[in-house]
Amino acid sequence: MINIKLIRENAESVRENIKKKFQEGKLVLVDKIMELDASWRKEKKKVDDLRAERNKISEKINQLMKAGKKSAAKSLVAEAKTIPKKIEKIEVKVGKMANEIMMMMMKIPNMIDASVPRGKDDSENVEREIIGKPKIPNYEIFNHVELMEKMGLLDLDSARKTSGTGFYFLKGDLARLHSAVLSFARDFMIEKGFEYCIPPFMMRGDVVKGVMSFEEMNTMMYKVEGEDLYMIGTSEHSMIGMFKDKTLKKGEVPQMLTSYSPCFRKERGAHGIEEKGLYRVHQFEKQEMIVICEPEESYEWYDKTLNFTVEFFKKLGIPVRKLECCSGDLGDLKAKSCDVEAWSPRQKKYFEVGSCSNLTDAQARRLGIKINGGQGNYFAHTLNNTVVASPRTLIALIENNQNKDGSINIPKILQPYMGGKKKIGMKE
């Protein structure tokens, strides 16, 4: 959420930002906010004037009482008693107007960074860097579903019976590889100086509204029936929510946290099936990182955290690329974002395995996350970045380490987490 002062003082910049995001339907909100804000300030002044009048009358009553003019004071007391009811009536109106303004403000997208490329959708995202040499073997790379089912390590049919489409059973060495990736990601981030955390896997509605847009909330989140609780779609949301209504001292930032969690999303139904198997599912597990920092340091942290993910995949031996999100592909709370995509030798293209985002003060304003700078409080900046999401990373590992016979070489960095095992092959 942006500062309403920006609309009051430079509405045109807000309109231009909306146009850059190709959300022209929201332009009318700027005018509605300006009109309602003017009315709100007018009514607020009435309340302030009434309070000032009440103070003046009270002072006059005291003077009359001291002068022994009780009769004159009595008439003023009656007048003073009418003021609280007037204030209460206007305050109800002011509260409703403030809430209406807030709801509209939460639909206005965050101001995007000047460096963000302009584009309408993800087809216009911009490749920034390729890390590692993509390889295409001279033999067929088997589909991860067919290969893992043949090895008896993946069971989608049973998952459909227990839970429906978009779920899976990982078994044996594949389940173990899945855990190895997450364990390595945890240790990797701890070595980078991040504090390890396991957050709640559900969060309240006010936190959900604080960390994401209404559109994302409706298309992604699973709501617990009869409860003000939502299953988390990613752990960064509850991790940012941990700082709700907190004012951090200057020496307490940056806050650097890395978190493990399962993630639950409705996105399979919302976005369609891109690929059979483990690519787009309702449930997955992820190691995440968040940073809460000084405003002037957020883009430095953006570069740092993005490069942590790149380094992580380099250690796994998986070629990746940085694909910067264009203006039209940015979520409403994001000021700048870049996807990390892994190479698929089977499809001969890259696919998304993570995303790094700087949300500047958008989440902090919604959740009341501030920093005490010594001469007053100001809103912090928040960032989030995927260290690794499984099972998408499993697809990349299976394809990039697959031998001609279908066996899978386990990267050296993961072997200690697999009990020294070096290869996954067919069961004897």
Q: Is 345 exposed, middle or buried (0-12, 13-18, 19+ CB in 10 A)?
A: middle
Interval 75-118: pLDDT, tens: 788 888 889 899 999 999 999 999 999 999 999 999 999 999 99
In the chain, the N- to C-terminal Cα span, in Å, equals 58
* DSSP one-letter string for 329-367: GS-TT-SEEEEEEEEETTTTEEEEEEEEEE-TTHHHHHH
Interval 368-403: pLDDT, tens: 999 998 889 999 999 999 999 988 999 999 999 999
CA distance 241 to 246: 10
Q: Please name every residue paired with 130 in a beta bridge, in sequence order, or none if there are none.
A: 321
Kindly indicate the confidence band of residue 268, based on its pLDDT and cuts at 50, 70 and 90.
low
pLDDT over 90 for what percent of the chain?
Answer: 84
CA distance 221 to 210: 14
- CATH 3.30.930.10 residue spans of the chain: 122-424
Kindly indicate the confidence band of residue 270, based on its pLDDT and cuts at 50, 70 and 90.
very low
Q: How long is the chain?
A: 428
Give yes or no for a contact between 345 and 321, defined as CB atoms under 8 angstroms apart: no
CB atoms inside a 10 Å sphere around CB 15: 17
Does residue 272 surpass a pLDDT of 70? no
Q: Give which of 221, 177, 182 is closest to 201, Cα–Cα.
A: 221
CATH of range 4-105; options 1.10.760.10, 3.90.550.10, 3.40.50.300, 1.10.287.40: 1.10.287.40
CATH of range 122-424; options 3.40.50.1100, 3.40.190.10, 3.40.50.300, 3.30.930.10: 3.30.930.10
pLDDT for position 193: 97
Mean per-residue pLDDT for 231-235? 94
Give yes or no for a contact between 286 and 263, defined as CB atoms under 8 angstroms apart: yes
